[in-house]
A and B are shown apart, each in its own frame.
Chain A
């Protein structure tokens, strides 16, 4: 009996110690499946632009950090339920998300694009290079019209709960047949298999996939920004965590000034995606 008592006491103490050791660590949630923003290497270790940036920001905040993995579609609920304290997962700052959580200032931004497999009839669509949906000028409207007729009857694939899905369902390109996937990897697989006629995601997600898989994936149409595509990517933080929000904003300021964000972004994206 005595042994059992001692043993349970030991377990309790060690439990308590682990809990208190974790208490002052900032837990950062990321997806680990959206290269080059965040992904995993062959051994399962989290890598990518945001993982490296997270360590840098934590150093500026002066607190220990832990990066944890979370499926994309449960990212915001997990933050609200305190599974972690901050989101760094290529999450764009949008009005819809801001109803549920706060965002730090943006740290990086890059454009979205449609992609098809080589040989698709969509390869021929002619639009301007890039459109900003915040200001719906004549050219933007004309391009959206071109896209509306080009996408009619096509299966457009995208990751669930993303700005890309929001855009496709916004009516800007008419009523499209949207198919949503849990991860970008699955979107890529079905684009390559031909189940998807066309896919929408961050342009780098496709170029990264084309490069790594050797599959003939090509970007088509304009690049998208603004409007449904949000205002850059920031750190997601709970509404009541104002102290942490301030700390992250300050750390981003410092990292930007010291050139850390540009340097890390250039390393992972191949161009300076910082903002």
Chain B
């Protein structure tokens, strides 16, 4: 064990963890909106809208995240027509390609989590709102969405942690995130065990924080107080 290397690489890896957190937070925020939108589309009675939303989540949950990143990064980069459009400004950058892939992926899972949460809302609650003369719109925004979010907290916490680990795939498209920098240090020191232990420790610490934040939120918004 080369402890000196572990100590020396720690600050570099910590810096890289900031990139990892940036990737995670941006894709989670975008993914949450996508997820909410598609969860609502899934509940739509129109069969085309419904199937379209189902197809999206089916495709993105049914293929590996790595393949999705490669298709968006290397695949779209091969289409000559695309390179002459304004889209290329975004797709040219590895960072945005990774964000798109992560957001679409987590969006698919989030839509499933939220959909099942919506479906578990007891009809009585909605009926109670209606009998009080509250409009459907207000019922949806003020009653259904908050309950659905509370219901989905445990599952969504899991999704955040899975996504956090998923961001390590950003290193495959040249992004210097935590894994990317770890690999870079290894490429000059040839000592994978030491460096990956430190990087793994940082990932574990981030999981610890996320886990506890979710646990706190669950407790705070629990129904049985």
Contact = CB atoms under 8 A, between A and B. Distances in A.
A12 interface: no
Contacts of B191: 77
Interface stretch (B8-16, B153-161, B181-189): B181-189
A195 B190 contact: no
Contact of A182 (B83, B88, B172): B172
A96 B191 CA distance: 13
Given A179-B174, A193-B78, A194-B83, A73 B190 contact: no
B183 A194 contact: no
A189 B188 contact: no
A194 B74 contact: no
B77 A161 contact: no
Nearest to A169: B188
A192 B79 CA distance: 11
B174 A181 contact: yes
Interface string A157-188: 10011000100000000000001111000100
A77 B192 contact: yes
Contact of B183 (A73, A157, A192, A195): A73
Interface string A189-216: 1101111000000000000000000000
Contact of B187 (A160, A181, A192): A160
Interface in A107-144: none
Given A180-B184, A195-B92, A80 B190 contact: yes
B2 to A, nearest CB: 12
A158 to B, nearest CB: 10
Contacts of A180: 174, 184
Interface in B171-225: 172, 174, 183-184, 186-188, 190-192
B190 A193 contact: no
A22 to B, nearest CB: 24
A157 B173 CA distance: 12
A195 B75 CA distance: 13
Contacts of A189: 74, 77-78
B190 A160 contact: no
Most chain A beta-carbon contacts within 10 A, residue among B78, B92, B174:
B174
Contact of B83 (A96, A157, A193): A193
A190 B77 contact: yes
Interface residues of A, number: 23
Interface string B67-104: 00000001001100001000010001010000000000
A74 interface: yes
A166 B216 CA distance: 47
Nearest to B174: A179
Given A182-B172, A189-B77, A194-B92, A160 B188 contact: no
A193 B78 CA distance: 6
B82 to A, nearest CB: 9
Nearest to A186: B74
Contact of A96 (B92, B183, B184, B188): B188
B31 to A, nearest CB: 24
A157 B183 CA distance: 17
Most chain A beta-carbon contacts within 10 A, residue among B183, B187, B192:
B187
A93 interface: no
A111 B91 CA distance: 33
A209 to B, nearest CB: 14
Contacts of A182: 172
Given A96-B188, A181-B174, A160 B183 contact: yes
A11 interface: no
Nearest to A96: B188
B183 to A, nearest CB: 6
A152 interface: no
A189 B94 CA distance: 13
Contacts of A190: 74, 77
Nearest to B172: A182
Interface of A: 73-74, 76-77, 80, 96, 100-101, 157, 160-161, 165, 179-182, 186, 189-190, 192-195
Given A80-B190, A195-B77, 7 more contacts: A74-B192, A100-B190, A101-B190, A161-B188, A181-B174, A189-B77, A193-B83
The 8 closest A-B pairs by CB, nearest first: A161-B187, A193-B77, A100-B190, A76-B190, A77-B192, A179-B174, A77-B190, A189-B74
15 contacts: A73-B183, A73-B186, A73-B187, A76-B190, A77-B186, A77-B190, A77-B191, A77-B192, A100-B190, A160-B184, A161-B188, A165-B187, A179-B174, A180-B174, A189-B74
